[in-house]
Structure 1
């Protein structure tokens, strides 16, 4: 079911973050209907309402315990020094109620400025709302990170052909009620995709971002800065990517099998030249990782026991690329380079092709994300767009026969 359609183009929130409002009725997304702003669409009525004004930076964080939305933006009032960022709260319940009544007020009536970050932090990036919903966590700049980096730690250089991954970087936070800021941790590499465990306050998951294969992709740390460690310790031959917290103690991730084994021809494997920019990671400069000489597939790691299972693997092409799972641990979902969407029953190990035909010319990838109740999956797709690029928000239900099993 497509919730949006049109030439403007939409973009869903990344799978590391919540997509639905706490009442389960609205999906939040970014839209070019009003460039640079976020919108909400009601699954039942199809109503679309603008929910930000003044733009935003980084990731939209939709609360699970209240009808609130949190995001970062450059201060729109006052003479703030460069580098300062304000954290904004939006009361979605009031926005939707007034919109339905046709009595919308100025944006300031629905917004609350939680606080403004110190300019020297150079805050930004993938802001994430803590599981306790009292703090938000975000990246800081290299100079601030260097201040907190333990003495003697060697700073990482760029890794791979995209010249990304160099450090240092760090994570800090803001209390959304008091505006207090605090520092969490510094690491010697580039930080990407900060996310939280919605069920465990104070647990942060993030990655070493290189634009491709990382020496050690996934990391976990407590909000007090303790417990920093690799989430899934990987080897040089493993290409780990697109991690997402899916249940109280689990993180799903892709162990990519998208590259041909050196010296062997494999015509079933899609090449980066099929559609320009559509299928990344084929460059030899990435090293030996990402082939199927070793086990690959949709991996799930238990945060506490550190045990890993492979939920499944597509037996052709790139294998799984972007992955997610239902909070009740029943299902996992993933896409591939062909933009096909596969569902896995984790209890029976059955695998089902849910959708196909999502164009590789699209402006972005499918990025599947399960709903909190585990009954449906949100994706973005250019399937019905006239230009083959503009994306729309789409809901794919878990088949009724699988829900009844």
Structure 2
């Protein structure tokens, strides 16, 4: 019995040591030349410990532009930061997290949700990255509470979860609330949407609430009769939110926007029934990038409407039946940019064949757009000339996830997640892709 107790205590101590905030890991940084395009790729991680980047709807770099924050099994259930120049890796959370990691753009802070001791409650936590990274470098780490602060805890009734987004003013965070809490704020005659599509997703209602990170105050923002996904804040315009109707594929109306006080709810881009709109990302004060997919065969073509598109079986969307006549190139498709103020939409570019651009992003100065496709290739677009070039390819369609290209704040480089170096063809690493110097020199 005593032996078992000692063994359990040793395991706890071992786990605690492994999960200590501020723990440093050796650099894995490696520069690799893309064998097809010649682009010099900087892999910030190279070992198979299950890395993945933050979703393109949220910032990837710390506010000083030096560290990239990512998810990894290097310290199970914790977030990591890697220095882009030195390759040093530091654990930046302790106690786990759920949902989205939120990096502030004005301060060296990280925000996230984690499970509370009480069921159905979530804590919203702030990490002081400046103090943590400095103490880690100096080898003078303190207890986790010296760096992590609980901003507030959601009530059980909210059934909070899913995506979380930090407002541009960095005083509120937005998060999804469950069906019961959302229903209390819906008008009596609002029709609740059922599941849509073959993945049996999209049913409502859902809502968005917000918490003040300084006081812990919680306010309701909006309720809608469908499933909410991809909540993101306009990082240049306080009080503006973009979110989607999540179905796991094509939605009846994918993109939505609303203000923090609940006013101004409207479709961001009113889509036609034949359009497959997906992967919206706020890229500047007035613009949202999104993909209008062109990945499926036109009716009457080889195989018919519901035949699988070219690609890798079920690894890509739209390979299953039941989505209807959507996502074809019979109508305009490609990387679309929507202006939040004028509501005008333009197509920045599209691949001449194949799936078309899929996960998309853009630089905040309006110069560049970027997208990946089903082959996991990454394409850069000059928005002024519409010129398009492939930056990198060969990132393995068998990868555990997709590249998800996302621009740095200064628009000079793009972060992706890649299985290019993985032996099993699935495990991904964090990779930085530069905008070509010749393009940066363009006037």
TM-score past 0.5 threshold: yes
Q: What's the offset of the Cα at 1:102?
A: 1.1
Contact 1:272 1:279 in 2 (8 A): no
Q: What's the offset of the Cα at 1:275?
A: 3.5
SS at match of 1:100: helix
SS at match of 1:153: coil
Q: Distance in 2 between matches of 1:315 and 1:248?
A: 30
Q: Superposition pairs for residues 2-401 of structure 1, below 5 Å?
A: 2-76=43-117, 80=118, 82-265=119-302, 271=308, 275-401=312-438
Q: Distance in 1 between matches of 2:315 and 2:391?
A: 21
Structure 1 residues 219-251: Cα deviation after superposition (integer angstroms, max 9, x where no partner) = 000000000000000010000000000011000
Q: Distance in 2 between matches of 1:274 and 1:355?
A: 18
Q: Distance in 1 between matches of 2:252 and 2:193?
A: 10
Q: What's the offset of the Cα at 1:270?
A: 10
Q: What's the offset of the Cα at 1:373?
A: 0.4
SS at match of 1:284: coil
Q: Structure 1: which 5+ residue stretches go unaligned?
A: none
Q: Distance in 2 between matches of 1:356 and 1:273?
A: 17
RMSD: 1.5
Q: Distance in 1 between matches of 2:355 and 2:294?
A: 6
Structure 1 residues 45-64: Cα deviation after superposition (integer angstroms, max 9, x where no partner) = 10000001111111000000
Structure 1 residues 162-190: Cα deviation after superposition (integer angstroms, max 9, x where no partner) = 00000000000100000000000000000
Q: Distance in 2 between matches of 1:58 and 1:274?
A: 29
- Runs ≥4 residues deviating over 2 A: 269-277
Q: Distance in 1 between matches of 2:51 and 2:142?
A: 25
Structure 1 residues 21-56: Cα deviation after superposition (integer angstroms, max 9, x where no partner) = 000000000001011110000001100000011111
Contact 1:244 1:251 in 2 (8 A): yes
Contact 2:311 2:355 in 1 (8 A): no
Q: Structure 2: which 5+ residue stretches go unaligned?
A: 1-41
SS at match of 1:194: strand
Q: TM-score, normalised by structure 2?
A: 0.89
Q: What's the offset of the Cα at 1:276?
A: 4.4
Q: Distance in 2 between matches of 1:272 and 1:71?
A: 37
Structure 1 residues 380-402: Cα deviation after superposition (integer angstroms, max 9, x where no partner) = 00000111111000000000000
SS at match of 1:145: helix
Contact 2:78 2:96 in 1 (8 A): yes
Max Rg structure: 2
Contact 1:270 1:337 in 2 (8 A): no
Structure 1 residues 249-300: Cα deviation after superposition (integer angstroms, max 9, x where no partner) = 0000000000011221289x99469544312212331011100000000000
